[in-house]
Amino acid sequence: MHDTLNPAQLEAVHHLHGPSLVLAGAGSGKTRVITHKIARLIQAGLAPERIAAITFTNKAAAEMRERARTLVGKAAQGVLLCTFHALGVRMLREDGAAIGLKPQFSILDTDDIVALLKDCGGTTDSTTARHWQWTISQWKGAGLDAAQALAQARDDAQRQIALIMARYHERLAAYQAVDFDDLIVLPLKLLREHADMRQRWQQRLGHVLVDEYQDTSATQYELLKALVGHGERDDPRLTCVGDDDQSIYGWRGATLDNLRRLPQDFPTLKVIKLEQNYRSTNAILRAANAVIGPNPKLFPKTLWSALGEGEPVRVLACDHEEHEAERAVARIQGLRVQGAAWRDCAILYRANHQSRAFEVALRKANIPYKVSGGTSFFDRAEIKDLCAWLRLLANENDDPAFLRAVTTPRRGIGHQTLAQLGQYAASARLSLFEALFAPGLAALLSPRALAALHEFGRTVNALQHRARHAVGHEAARAVLQDWLADIGYEAHLLDQSDSPQQASARWGHVLDFVDWMVQRCGGYIDDSGGAALAREPKALWEVAQTVALISTLAEREQDQDVVTLSTLHAAKGLEWPHVILAGVNEGLLPFKPDADGDAAALAARIEEERRLMYVGITRAQRTLVVSWLKQRKQGRERVPAQASRFIAEMQLDPATAQEDPRAKLRALREEFAARAAARAA
């Protein structure tokens, strides 16, 4: 059963008595170790019902359950494979009455919590309430109740939130409801205050395994200790599997102190290191080991691979975001020419907003993609609104675009009016826009409704006329700015947003979209051929047709053969043959720290950002490209930018680290053309 495991993995699997810490480096087979250890525990006579394997996501639990089933068959069904929070729900459903909870308690979702906090704090601002929610969640994750939070509050703002927290907890108790954090806090309270229940749960769980242990919070660790009988049993049976070099969730309560405390709290702890990587080449692992080197080491380890040296890690210095996106697309196209599938490629970045330029470039090249860990720029509501108008501009018979445009912003045209318009258009076999001015419509609508529809139609017609003659930068910008002012879109965003700050951010997206449109109307430089080529200016009408095509492309998320765009946080646990790690600049990765942080906090922040870089590097299996910008967009301006310190820390050989993906793509195409000509001859 275990003949596929290496010696370190076998040692971890066969350590059944007493606590152990399995330090599983990236790609070292941690899930294989956990599932094989579950099988070994069952083989050794422990009933499946007495084994608990705790993960951080339902997806990970499902994968683990499936793997365990292949090893032990139906016995895997008895193993408790779940998240910390799912375990908390089970404990509270069974024993919550001891702390005043009925078995039918409710679990509030985010919207419920925000609404309740608004009421407790006397505000109507959702952004403020969400800040309160985040602060209260951080306190609860650190094990603080409202009284403790009040005692430790640093200023008046925190004292106010602590008082709101107390009222919030009173309401939860009155409503027989809990929030997500309570699913850890309350089971811990239950075990601490009721010795009989604590002993019963310790007896029920004969061995507890924890995946991604480095991501546990302070309260999760305390719950774990209570479940395995820390200080009450001679041989607490606990297996923690994790990697201190991949701890990247400090901002949501995870703490490396839990790793530091394990050897102190469990003196008989067995530490086992998994250093053989099954994912990446040694060139990639050497860069990963080098970049994580400056961080303080809790348990030093060095990843290695039997997969060979592989291609050198490449570094691309790019002029700006659009240049970076073009070079990334050229590289992906080159990989495609060599036989790679789209799904083999991923572009990873630090922040959601970085996806925008890559999305535009991929769409322009007609390359399918999906965005993970964030919202696609073209999926933002404000961008969909503008695209609907532009689709209607390019094709007035586009009924879905008509329906979105005519109601955004609102202009006194209600659902009943649109329903009557739709019925008339269907009976007359006209598009909705064509039906606006049809003679028969007047008999169905009130004069006020008809006038509102006619006004909308005239607005579209006027925009169409101006767009046909708006050629070049200045003309296109003037038309777009006048159009946004005429329809009152900025005021609409302010009305539809939770706060002025959110409205401002959404208006910023709109201005970015306008800039993108204007750039395409004015012609732009394309150096894909190695020389600067100025394209002819276009009319806004022509660009609107292109946007219409972009925004009506079928959703390709269902298609598995797609390039992945992902934040680094969302990419953890995943892997691809070819990875482009983008925007590796000071201020992005590492992310610009808070100005008011002290030296210790700043150092901790940089260490976590370095671990994030390490996670990004170790997502790559065969090739890795790291790109950085010479200039970054800041607001409406471009400012000089610096390469991240992490690039220097990778200690790459300058002779092999530079690459021009466009030149390589051209060479590959020439090579394939020559082969085709030779075959034809």
- 279 annotated ligand-binding residue: yes
CA–CA separation, 297 and 614 (whole Å):
14
- 28 annotated ligand-binding residue: yes
Compute how many other C-beta atoms are within 10 angstroms of the C-beta atom of residue 286.
23
Both tokens of residue 268? Answer: 């008989």
Residue 246 appears among annotated catalytic residues: yes
CA–CA separation, 479 and 499 (whole Å):
28
Residue 198 appears among annotated catalytic residues: no
Residue 148 appears among annotated catalytic residues: no
- Whether 640 and 630 have beta carbons less than 8 Å apart is answered as yes
- 438 annotated ligand-binding residue: no
CA–CA separation, 543 and 599 (whole Å):
50
- 118 annotated ligand-binding residue: no
Strand partners, 624: 579
CA–CA separation, 250 and 254 (whole Å):
5
Question: Which of 179, 182, 212, 244 is an active site residue?
Answer: 212
Both tokens of residue 31? Answer: 């899930």
Residues 6+ apart with CB under 8 A from 588: 349, 350, 351, 354, 632, 644
Burial class (CB in 10 A: 0-12, 13-18, 19+), 502: middle
- 96 annotated ligand-binding residue: no
Residue 31 appears among annotated catalytic residues: yes
Residue 264 appears among annotated catalytic residues: no
The residue among 283, 285, 288 whose CA lies nearest residue 304 is: 285
Question: Which of 30, 140, 327, 350 is an active site residue?
Answer: 30
Q: What are phi and psi for residue 29, nearest 5 degrees?
A: 90, 40
- 29 annotated ligand-binding residue: yes
Question: Which of 37, 237, 286, 619 is an active site residue?
Answer: 619
Both tokens of residue 220? Answer: 């999760």
- Positive or negative: CA dihedral 505, 508, 510, 512: negative
Helix ranges, 618-660 (H): 645-649, 654-657
Q: How distant, in Å, are the alpha carbons of 85, 94, 96, 149, 229 from that of 175?
A: 20, 19, 14, 23, 33
Question: Which of 35, 246, 564, 621 is an active site residue?
Answer: 246
- Whether 541 and 394 have beta carbons less than 8 Å apart is answered as yes
Helical axes 500-521 vs 489-496, angle rounded to 10°: 150
- 26 annotated ligand-binding residue: yes
Residues 6+ apart with CB under 8 A from 341: 561
CA–CA separation, 293 and 275 (whole Å):
15
Residue ranges of the annotated binding site for ATP are 24-31, 279
Residue ranges of the annotated binding site are 24-31, 279
Catalytic residue positions, numbered: 30-31, 211-212, 246, 619
